[in-house]
Structure 1
Amino acid sequence: MRRSNFALRLQLPLLDEARKVADSEGVPLNRFINVAVAEKLSALRTETYFQERAAVPTSQGAALLKRAGKGKAPIKGDELPE
Protein backbone atom coordinates (compact mmCIF):
# COMPACT_ATOMS: atom_id res chain seq x y z
CA MET A 1 0.00 0.00 0.00
CA ARG A 2 1.30 3.43 -0.93
CA ARG A 3 1.57 5.97 1.84
CA SER A 4 1.80 9.72 1.79
CA ASN A 5 2.18 12.52 4.28
CA PHE A 6 -0.59 15.05 4.64
CA ALA A 7 -0.68 18.06 6.94
CA LEU A 8 -4.01 17.87 8.72
CA ARG A 9 -5.31 20.91 10.55
CA LEU A 10 -7.77 20.04 13.29
CA GLN A 11 -9.38 22.33 15.79
CA LEU A 12 -7.61 21.86 19.13
CA PRO A 13 -10.65 20.49 21.00
CA LEU A 14 -11.20 17.94 18.21
CA LEU A 15 -7.53 16.95 18.24
CA ASP A 16 -7.54 16.59 22.03
CA GLU A 17 -10.63 14.38 21.91
CA ALA A 18 -9.16 12.26 19.10
CA ARG A 19 -5.98 11.77 21.14
CA LYS A 20 -8.02 10.70 24.19
CA VAL A 21 -10.01 8.18 22.20
CA ALA A 22 -6.90 6.83 20.43
CA ASP A 23 -5.19 6.43 23.81
CA SER A 24 -8.20 4.68 25.30
CA GLU A 25 -8.29 2.32 22.30
CA GLY A 26 -4.55 1.71 22.58
CA VAL A 27 -3.78 2.79 19.02
CA PRO A 28 -1.58 5.56 17.60
CA LEU A 29 -3.40 8.78 16.67
CA ASN A 30 -2.44 8.30 13.00
CA ARG A 31 -4.08 4.87 12.88
CA PHE A 32 -7.18 6.18 14.66
CA ILE A 33 -7.56 8.98 12.09
CA ASN A 34 -7.03 6.52 9.20
CA VAL A 35 -9.75 4.22 10.54
CA ALA A 36 -12.11 7.15 11.15
CA VAL A 37 -11.71 8.36 7.56
CA ALA A 38 -12.16 4.81 6.22
CA GLU A 39 -15.37 4.37 8.25
CA LYS A 40 -16.78 7.66 6.94
CA LEU A 41 -15.96 6.74 3.34
CA SER A 42 -17.57 3.35 3.82
CA ALA A 43 -20.75 4.94 5.18
CA LEU A 44 -20.94 7.35 2.24
CA ARG A 45 -20.34 4.60 -0.30
CA THR A 46 -23.01 2.46 1.34
CA GLU A 47 -25.52 5.30 1.08
CA THR A 48 -24.68 5.73 -2.61
CA TYR A 49 -24.95 1.98 -3.19
CA PHE A 50 -28.47 1.82 -1.74
CA GLN A 51 -29.55 4.91 -3.68
CA GLU A 52 -28.38 3.23 -6.88
CA ARG A 53 -30.10 -0.02 -5.95
CA ALA A 54 -33.33 1.85 -5.22
CA ALA A 55 -33.23 3.16 -8.79
CA VAL A 56 -33.42 -0.37 -10.24
CA PRO A 57 -36.59 -0.65 -12.33
CA THR A 58 -39.55 -1.93 -10.34
CA SER A 59 -40.11 -4.94 -12.61
CA GLN A 60 -36.65 -6.29 -11.75
CA GLY A 61 -37.18 -5.63 -8.06
CA ALA A 62 -40.61 -7.26 -8.15
CA ALA A 63 -39.16 -10.36 -9.83
CA LEU A 64 -36.55 -10.64 -7.10
CA LEU A 65 -39.16 -10.28 -4.37
CA LYS A 66 -41.35 -12.98 -5.95
CA ARG A 67 -38.46 -15.45 -5.78
CA ALA A 68 -37.37 -14.51 -2.26
CA GLY A 69 -38.34 -17.16 0.28
CA LYS A 70 -40.41 -19.10 -2.26
CA GLY A 71 -41.55 -22.42 -0.81
CA LYS A 72 -40.45 -21.57 2.72
CA ALA A 73 -42.79 -21.06 5.65
CA PRO A 74 -42.63 -17.70 7.40
CA ILE A 75 -40.43 -17.44 10.46
CA LYS A 76 -42.43 -17.40 13.69
CA GLY A 77 -43.78 -13.89 14.20
CA ASP A 78 -43.57 -13.01 10.47
CA GLU A 79 -46.92 -14.54 9.51
CA LEU A 80 -49.47 -12.33 7.79
CA PRO A 81 -52.48 -11.37 9.94
CA GLU A 82 -55.72 -13.16 9.10
Structure 2
Amino acid sequence: MKKSNFALRLQTSLLEEARKVADAEGVALNQLINVAVAEKLSALRTETYFAERVARADVPRALDILRRAGVGREPDKGDGLMDPVE
Protein backbone atom coordinates (compact mmCIF):
# COMPACT_ATOMS: atom_id res chain seq x y z
CA MET A 1 0.00 0.00 0.00
CA LYS A 2 1.43 3.34 -1.07
CA LYS A 3 1.31 5.99 1.61
CA SER A 4 1.52 9.73 1.30
CA ASN A 5 1.81 12.67 3.63
CA PHE A 6 -0.81 15.36 3.91
CA ALA A 7 -0.74 18.37 6.20
CA LEU A 8 -4.12 18.38 7.90
CA ARG A 9 -5.34 21.52 9.61
CA LEU A 10 -7.84 20.80 12.36
CA GLN A 11 -9.46 23.09 14.85
CA THR A 12 -7.71 22.73 18.19
CA SER A 13 -10.82 21.41 19.93
CA LEU A 14 -11.40 18.83 17.18
CA LEU A 15 -7.80 17.66 17.35
CA GLU A 16 -8.01 17.31 21.13
CA GLU A 17 -11.18 15.24 20.88
CA ALA A 18 -9.65 13.07 18.16
CA ARG A 19 -6.61 12.44 20.34
CA LYS A 20 -8.84 11.48 23.27
CA VAL A 21 -10.83 9.05 21.14
CA ALA A 22 -7.69 7.54 19.62
CA ASP A 23 -6.24 7.08 23.09
CA ALA A 24 -9.45 5.53 24.41
CA GLU A 25 -9.55 3.16 21.41
CA GLY A 26 -5.89 2.30 21.82
CA VAL A 27 -4.94 3.37 18.29
CA ALA A 28 -2.65 5.99 16.82
CA LEU A 29 -4.21 9.32 15.89
CA ASN A 30 -3.17 8.70 12.28
CA GLN A 31 -5.04 5.38 12.25
CA LEU A 32 -8.15 6.97 13.75
CA ILE A 33 -8.15 9.67 11.07
CA ASN A 34 -7.61 7.09 8.30
CA VAL A 35 -10.55 5.01 9.54
CA ALA A 36 -12.76 8.09 9.91
CA VAL A 37 -12.02 9.18 6.34
CA ALA A 38 -12.61 5.64 5.05
CA GLU A 39 -15.97 5.44 6.85
CA LYS A 40 -17.08 8.78 5.43
CA LEU A 41 -16.06 7.82 1.90
CA SER A 42 -17.89 4.53 2.26
CA ALA A 43 -21.05 6.30 3.38
CA LEU A 44 -20.89 8.74 0.47
CA ARG A 45 -20.23 5.99 -2.07
CA THR A 46 -23.13 3.96 -0.67
CA GLU A 47 -25.44 6.94 -1.09
CA THR A 48 -24.31 7.31 -4.71
CA TYR A 49 -24.70 3.58 -5.34
CA PHE A 50 -28.31 3.56 -4.16
CA ALA A 51 -29.10 6.75 -6.08
CA GLU A 52 -27.85 5.07 -9.26
CA ARG A 53 -29.89 1.94 -8.50
CA VAL A 54 -33.03 4.01 -7.91
CA ALA A 55 -32.52 5.82 -11.21
CA ARG A 56 -32.65 2.56 -13.16
CA ALA A 57 -35.34 0.87 -11.09
CA ASP A 58 -38.49 -0.45 -12.74
CA VAL A 59 -40.99 0.10 -9.91
CA PRO A 60 -44.08 -1.32 -11.71
CA ARG A 61 -42.15 -4.50 -12.56
CA ALA A 62 -40.91 -4.86 -8.97
CA LEU A 63 -44.44 -4.42 -7.61
CA ASP A 64 -45.72 -7.04 -10.06
CA ILE A 65 -43.09 -9.50 -8.84
CA LEU A 66 -44.08 -8.83 -5.22
CA ARG A 67 -47.77 -9.32 -6.02
CA ARG A 68 -47.01 -12.75 -7.52
CA ALA A 69 -44.63 -13.84 -4.75
CA GLY A 70 -45.85 -16.95 -3.01
CA VAL A 71 -49.11 -17.23 -4.99
CA GLY A 72 -50.23 -20.87 -5.02
CA ARG A 73 -47.76 -21.96 -2.34
CA GLU A 74 -48.41 -23.00 1.19
CA PRO A 75 -46.35 -21.13 3.78
CA ASP A 76 -43.06 -22.78 4.71
CA LYS A 77 -42.69 -24.19 8.22
CA GLY A 78 -42.01 -21.31 10.59
CA ASP A 79 -43.60 -18.71 8.33
CA GLY A 80 -46.25 -16.62 9.98
CA LEU A 81 -46.70 -13.75 12.35
CA MET A 82 -44.96 -13.84 15.69
CA ASP A 83 -46.69 -13.02 18.94
CA PRO A 84 -46.03 -9.39 19.87
CA VAL A 85 -43.41 -8.85 22.53
CA GLU A 86 -44.87 -7.20 25.59
Q: Same fold (TM over 0.5)?
A: yes
CA separation of 1:35/1:61 partners in 2, compared to 1, >3 Å: closer, same or farther? Answer: farther
Gaps of 5+ in 1: none
Task: Name the CA distance, whole Å, in 1 between partners of 2:30 and 2:6.
Answer: 11
Residue 65 (structure 2) pairs with residue 66 (structure 1):
yes
TM superposition outliers: structure 1 runs of 4+ over 3 Å:
70-75
TM-score with structure 2 setting the length: 0.73
Normalised TM-score (structure 1): 0.76
Three-state SS of the structure 2 residue aligned to 1:2 is coil
* The structure with more radius of gyration: 2
Greater relative contact order, per chain length (Cα 8 Å cut-off, separation 6+): 1
Identity of aligned residues (%): 61
Where do 5+ consecutive residues of structure 2 fail to align? Answer: none
Q: Which residue of 2 aligns with 1:7?
A: 7
Deviation at 1:77, TM superposition (A): 3.0
Letter in 1 for 2:39: E
For 1:76, the equivalent position in structure 2 comes to 80
**Pairwise CA RMSD of aligned residues?**
2.8
